[in-house]
Amino acid sequence: LLLSLKFSTSAFGIDPTSGFVERPVSYVIQKPYDLKVSDRYSFSNGIHKLWVYTSDKPHSSDSDTMPRTELRFLRPEYLDGVWQFEGDFYVPSGTKGACVMQVFGGKSAATALQVRLDGHGDLVRSGADLPHSTLATDVYNRWIHLNVIHDADNMMLSIYLDGKLKHWEVNESRKTHYFKCGVYAQSNASEYMESRWKNIKIWK
């Protein structure tokens, strides 16, 4: 019932974090394994800047995944409960085919949810073998406020942009989950990918 109220009232402009309690944030930086963190990441004036090239190596020498530079949040790692990721992100024009945020731990794939730029530069949801859904167009060169709520108990995920509910779904992933943000190359990726993040918070 509580989550249903959050869905319905947020559509009318209520803060998606209402009723949640902020939790500590800790993370590690995943980047091409042969590079220094500073080669693909910077933090200045409260802004995390993360970038990567399609020619870069994966994040570990034994991985066959695409290149990435991501904040991998250490807490929470959860199987149950209602958790929320919040942050402001900025994507410069030209970045395409890149995941900028994800909920790790899918039913039949690595991720339960990805928020990504597709090959046309539109912001879409992807992952968990569910259909892509367009969240927004014209997203370049401006700050966008993102809230992602994951009710692992009831297998529901919702995505808010600038305080408005843009998507919700039943997501039957039953694995250990955690949040990530940054840039992670996907199909039709541009040669250079970048995202910037600020005001990141984790809620429960």
Q: What is the residue extent of each domain of the chain?
A: 2-203
Using only the alpha carbons of the chain, give its radius of gyration.
Answer: 16
Q: What is the pLDDT of residue 4?
A: 42
Closest Cα to residue 113, out of 51, 181, 63?
A: 181
CB 180 within 8 A of CB 73: yes
Q: What is the pLDDT of residue 86?
A: 99
Q: What is the pLDDT of residue 10?
A: 44
Q: What is the pLDDT of residue 128?
A: 66
Topology classification of domain 2-203: Jelly Rolls (2.60.120)
Q: What is the pLDDT of residue 71?
A: 99
Give me the residues paired with residue 47 across strands.
44
Q: What is the pLDDT of residue 15?
A: 93
Q: What is the pLDDT of residue 8?
A: 42
In the chain, which residues have pLDDT < 70? Answer: 1-13, 128
Q: Tell me the whole-structure pTM to 2 decimals.
A: 0.91
Q: What is the pLDDT of residue 130?
A: 74
Whether residue 67 is preceded by a cis peptide bond, meaning omega within 30 degrees of 0, is: no
The SS3 call for residue 116 is strand
